[in-house]
Each structure stands twice: as C-alpha cells, then as structure tokens.
A and B are shown apart, each in its own frame.
Chain A
Amino acid sequence: MSTPTKTPLVPFDDALTRYEPVMGLEVHVELGTRTKMFCGCATEFGAEPNTQVCPVCLGLPGALPVVNAKAVESAIRIGLALNCEIAEWCRFARKNYFYPDQPKNFQTSQYDEPIAFDGYTDVEVDGEVYRIEIERAHMEEDTGKSLHVGGATGRIHGADHSLLDYNRAGIPLIEIVTRTIEVPGDKAPAVARAYVNQLRDLMLALGVSDARMDQGSLRADVNLSLKPTGSSTLGTRSETKNVNSFRSVERAVRYEVGRHAGILDAGQKVVQETRHFHESDGSTSSGREKSDAEDYRYFPEPDLAPVAPSRAWVDELRGTLPEPPSERRKRLQAEWEFSDLDMRDTIGAGALELIVATVEAGAAPQAARKWWLGELARRSNDTGVDLAALPITPAQVAGIQALIDAGKINDKLARDVFDGVLAGEGTPEEVVASRGLEVVSDDGALGEAVDRAIEANPDVADKIRDGKLQAAGALIGAVMKEMRGQADAGRVRELILEKLS
C-alpha cells in the first residue's frame, strides 16, 4: 500500500527549489441544526450512545428521509457567503458503499448537482490577499461512530470487534471543496491554514455551526501533489483526511510536500491514497489506496424531492449574511486602532474572532490582543492545541482583564489566574479566591511588610532618606517577595516614601 521503499523526507525549503505544491482542500462542516439532516432526531454532542436515533437514521427497513429546511437554508447561506452561485434546481444522490458506520450502506449526498458552486473567498497571509476559488458546497449526512475493542487502544487494526453508536449518523454536513490552489510554495502551508481558519470564522459569523475542529464539527482534508517547478504536468495526489486543528493543516501541507519530494527525487511514483495525520509528530501515514475499483454508483435519490430554491428565498437569505471577511477585517482594525503589524499578527494567530468576542465581553482591544497573542498563544504553542480550542473562553479572558483593571490582581497574578482557569478550576473569580491570588492593598498588612523591609535593608533606607528615590525599587522588590507577588506595587511605593520622608 505504501511506497515500495521508504524515501527520505526532503526539508520543506529544499523541496520548493525543485517543486511547486498544488493543493486542494475539502472541508466538512457539521451544521448546528437542532435535528438531523433527514429526520427529527436531536443532535446534542456527547449524548449517551444510541439515544438520538430513529428508524430513518438507523436505516431500518421501510424508513424514508425528509429534508431539514434549516439545513438547506444554512447550505444556501454558506454558499452565498462564499460568493457561490445557488442552484435553481438540484437533487440529492446516493453514494453507494458498504461500511458498518453507514446505516443504509449509502450516504445521501449530492453528486453532480451541488446546491452551491463557483464561488471564492479571499484570505490574508502576511498582509497579502490570496483568492481561494470554491468549486462547490454540497449537502450530505454524517456517519455513526465506531469504537474498536481489543487489540491496541481503540485502533482499528488488531481489534477483536467494534461497537457502533449511531447518534452522529445523519447529522447534516456541508462539504466545501476548493478548486486547485496554486500560491507561492512557501506560502502554501499558511494559506491552507488561513483558509480553514477563515471558514471557521465564517461559520461562526453565519451562526450555522460551532465549527470546532477539536470536536470534529469542522474537519479538513488536505489534497496535495507536486509538480516540477515551471512544469504544467500535475503529479499524483495524496488525500490527508480529517486533520483536526488549524496548526495541523499547516503541518500536514509541509509534511506532504517533503514526503512527495522525497519520493519524486528517488525517481519513484507517488501512490494515490488517503493518508492519516498524526498530531504527535506532524507526520502522515498511509491509509487506503484509491483504486479504479472504487465505484460509488451514484444515482439521484428517488426518496427525496429535488430542491429548487426560489430566487426570492435566495435573495432573502442574502440579506442575512454577515459582513464579508475582508471588509470586516478593515473595519475592526480601524475600530481597534491596531497597527498593520498588530492586525497581521492577529490574523496569523487565528485570533481575530477571539478578540472580537473578548472585546464584546468588555475588554479593551489592546488588552485582548495582549493576552491572546501573548500568554495564550504561548500556551497554544507549548501544547499544540489551537488557540480557539484552549479551555478558556473570551468572556473569561475579559473577566481576568476586568480584575486587573479593578486593581484586584496584577499582570503577574493574572498569569496564575490563566493557569487556574485553563486547569479547569473555575471562573477567574473562583480561581482568585481558591488560590488566594488577590493583591494586598490593605495598609495594615503592607505597612508591616514595609517596616520589615526597611529594617532588613538599612543602607537602602538611608539612600532613600537622602533623596535617592530610585533606590525604592529594591525595597518594593523585597516587599513583593515577602507577599509572594500579591502586593499592590503602587501602594507599596507610596508607603515606603511616606515612611522614609
């Protein structure tokens, strides 16, 4: 299944000296509708197994599908937000293949008549705008989930048997497929990441999905091939499936570029196959070989009526669209008074919507940016968890900033509060209380600490008495040390100067 002999991975920059990457991205968005695509079952995440099922989504004999109006509406709005044409008339189709997580052994999808097609979206990387062309966005349904029992932990290989939960089967999905993306090779990984990030932001702005990569409600497949620089001959592509973070999208592109280059350098052929991405080391491994034998035998779904959205309805939905991403970015930069560099960093970090939400929760834009791009970006890098997937909400970040603004904690203590919130210890207030992090500004306690510091450092005290006020820093440091950082530094300085004047 894999290449005949293992070829070395070529460093990314080296690969770009000889090859140009050609990418395509397929993103599946799980819609946040209350019910499934074709039946009235609930869609709550994390429900007890097989409690959100009915004859339709279990594929029981005789059951028939009925289309969820909200899902069609969401599909049209997504299509419009991606500047797509909306089909005047389109049908569902059956994609026939056998797999135990697919209750009917066909997926109800759309084939050559997608509801939305021929669109684009502009993404920004390092201040440059790249247009990503959208081939199609179509409606389909999700599969059930299998749990592999026995053998290695939860892996499909070596399992004794599998256990199936069909709660997820039939949840509406929108599959968004790009046309071939050709950008300067060195930008490809970042463009891929920025595109997926922008889709996430768009889904949130549309209110159609929670678009959480970590929970699988937004899943990206990265298709990649290389062509020799200057050539127009396309190479064989690999399809890296279900990449589940923005960072991983970028890493998957880099890895596949290096892997393909190694194979081509060795004069071998790239195998057309699906590949799995591994978060641990950023590598991919061989999945299933795509062969000509794969034959989905698509045909129009006879159990569903064609969908023919009236132009009046489409226009009405057009009126509900959020601001386009590029205009939104411009407006926010002006409102927030961010420099071009601030804005570029914000977008690069995928923090735009997080800052929007933090500002909405009451924080100043610069403060919001400081936390998301500083403290939290560092933790995201350390743990490999996307910024948006960190276990802290914009409202909590705003809450921490509010505590600082109120003088209850200082920046240093704030870092401890972040620790506590990220560790699941509760709201910022609860963490402050349980960890005893509130700054001491009570003159009694501070006064005693100041007295002890003066007593312990008579030389420094004398200098201050002689008017060398800059020496106060040493005494402040001593007090802060004694108070384990929880002192109001401004008040400490005032007390020192009062006592030594």
Chain B
Amino acid sequence: MDTVHYLLEGFGTALLPINILFAFIGVLIGTAVGVLPGIGPMSGVALLIPVTASMTGGMDPAAAATSSIILLAGVYYGAMYGGSTTSILLNTPGESSSVVTTLDGYQLARQGRAGSALAIAAIGSFCAGIVSLIGLALLAKPLSEVALKFGPAEYFSLMLLGLAAVSGLAGNSMTKAGIMTIFGLLLSTIGLDNVSGVARFTYNIPALYGGLEFLTVAVGLFALGEVFKTILHKESHDGNLAKVGKILPSKQELKESSGPIARGSLLGFFVGVLPGAGATLASFFSYIMEKKISKTPEKFGKGTIAGVAAPESANNAASGGAMIPLLTLGIPGSGTTAILMGALIMYNIQPGPLLFQDHPGVAWGLIASMFIGNVMLLILNMPLVKVFAKIIETPPKYLIPIIIAISVFGVYAVQVNTFDLILLIICGLAGYYLASNDFPLAPLVLGLVLGPMIENNMRRALTASNGDFMVFLEKPISLAFIVIAVLWIVIPFVLKLKGKKVLINEEA
C-alpha cells in the first residue's frame, strides 16, 4: 500500500501548477529537440540544465530540484517521440533511436499514410510510457531497499559493473571506450578531495579547486561538438518533406499495431533497465522481434504499420526503464541519464537508494510527472504534428550560432566566470574530434559523474579492510558484480575474435 500512497503524493507534487508548466515546457522542447537534426537528447538536456537552474533560482532546493528534473526528464522522453517525426516524414532519423523507424515509416509516408504512422507512433509511445511508469512504480521501492543493504564494497563493484556495461556497448572499439571511461574518471579527481580536503592537480589555479564542472564539460562535448560538426560537414537536409495527410488511424491500423505496441513496450522497458543498452538497442530488438513473429515478414521494410509501432514504443519504454537504475541505485546506464544525474547532484540531491527515503517528493514527483508528460505528449502531438514538421525547416543559419550563444549563456549563468567559457570551447573541440574518430563521449561523462562516488566507496571499503584489495572479492554480492562486469567486457571481446558481429549502442 505504501507505493500507492507515495504515488498519490507524487501526483500531488506533479500536479502543482508550476510542475505542470515545467512538464509542458519539457515535453515541448523535447519534441522540438527530437525533430531538429542538429541536437540530440543529450545536448538538449545539457543545454537546458542552466536554463532550469536559473528559472528555479528562487525556490527552496528540494522543490527546485523536483521542478527541474521534471522538465529535464520531459526533454528526454519528448525527444524520443520527436525523433520519429523526421524519420517518417523525411527519411532522416532525428535521433539514433529512431533509425529503425525510417525503414517502414518513410515507406508509409510515400504511400500517403504519414499521418497515421505519426499517430500510431504517438499512441505507441504513450502506451510504452504508461508501461514503463507502472514498472518504475513497482520496482523502485523493492530495488532501493535491496540497495540500501549494500556496503561500500558492494557499491564500488556495482558502479564498476555500470561502467563496464556502458563502455562495453559504446562505440566500435572497446579500447577507445575504455580510454574515455578512465579519462572521465581521471578528470573527476581534479579539485579538492572530498575525503581528506587535499587539493589534487589544481596547480594553484583557483577555478580548478571546485573541480571541472560537469555541466561545462557536458554542454561542450555534446552541444558544441555537434555544432562544430554541423558547420564543418555542411550537413543539410534537403529531402522532400512528405505530406502528413490524414492523422487519425483507421480501426484496421489500430488493430494491426496493438500487438507490436504491447510487445515493444515490455521489451523496451527491460532493455532500458539494463545499463548500457538503452533506446537504440531496444528499438532494433523490437523491430527484429516483430519481423520474426509476424505472419507476413515480407511486408517489413515496405511500409507496414507494425514496423513503426514496435520500435517507437520500445524506445520510449526504454527511456522510462533507464530511470530505474538511475533513481534506485544511483547508477546512470546511458549518457543522457548521466546528465540527468549530474543535474540532480547540482541540486545536492544524490540519486540512489536513499533518494526514496530522503527525498520521496523528488522521486515520486518525477515518476508521476512522467505519466502527466506522456498524456501531454499525446494531446500535443496528435493535432500539432504538422506544426512540429515545420520546425524541421528552421534554417541552420540561425540555429547554429544560437545554440552556441545558449551554451555560453548557460555556462556563464551557472558558473559566472570566463575560465568555464574557455573550458567549454575546448570541450567542444575535443568533443568534435573525439566523436568523429569513434571515441564515444558518453562513457567520459559517465566517468566524470560517477568518479567521486566510485572513489569514495573504494576508499571506504579499503579503509575498513586496512588497504586489502581482496575485500571486493571476498564479499559475495560484490564478487558477483565484479564477475558480471568482467564477463560483460570479455564476452563481446571473445565474440569479436570469433568474427561475429556484435551489436553496439550508438546512442550511448
């Protein structure tokens, strides 16, 4: 009964006028971010952190954190939805999680059924949102109670597992992903050590005492990196915009897609819970699964509604599922959730098992607002699909400099110094060059966010064991985590040696 009680209280929080407004702004901007080709969910969320920080400036910390995270999560799952619009109308996926949607979506659009494809995508996303919400509400409490029993050694190993999972699946080269993870962890050691208070790697530069600000690094790597790429590669989207046409799907289409939506939602949710997997893999898996169990597999790729319904439900469900490890264990499973976690930490709210004890309002308010946000997305997107389709035509001429200006504004508004602005530009350059040479960026951000916690738990565990590293292998739960982490790295490696193709997660 506890869960129902908390959930109702969460709805109380989420239904406050300000939070409804924030959820609305979040899903609205999220949809736009998903539609615009130049900005992905990661840079969208990163760019909005400073904006929300200044909007919530006058509120008390817990309420400010709730409202901000509601808005930022709205951007995250809104983008998942918006990405489908460009896939269907333009044959250009707005996000990597919508790549599969282009296969059937664009074919449907060419047959003049773009409207119903978009509507089915919206309905599928909505159902998926509800499924992942129920899963989140049911799993959050028991999981966080288990996690509360963990000691520092277990925590350290669990976080190691999270890092291994993300870097094992990110990018083509595991070596590069590993380098990026470790580099992120190293960067997190710059600044005052929060156990002993000793300054590390600061060289008397005052701006470094606080450490490299996570926000600056994330905005630089993702937002500026993508902008630089757009300028250098002259990316243009001249494709013909398909007509939207009739929006309401026919009964036949609804019937055809109900099965794929249900299966896609469930599959997507469980893929999302796994660290490192995420929305892109979820949409791929569900498409492949639908094709396998379909009675008419030859229709896939030629414009079948199930080919849109399944992956779009799956990627939305995955974005909900990804909230579970973030909220209950404090371990983000992807780049975007790492950024959400960074945002929570900025508000002095530590995601993890204690979140449900210390700040139930934040956790349950977010869960409830995801339900409200999904309703909004459905209402917003059915009639407004044509308006969003127009956003695609925003000329890059204005978009690119404005993204740079928003990045600079955002970083300055929170940090108020020039050092961070220069760091921002350096991170943007690094982000562009690293990403264009197959160095995945998400593990770096993950390392930067998790670094202090990993180090803390490691040192606490080692202090208790008098510096004996065997402590991580002696505790059974900790040993299990480490074994899984090692397998996660080793199995794909062995498969690669055998010449098998390993699925990777490009969205990260």
Q: Do A and B come from one complex?
A: no
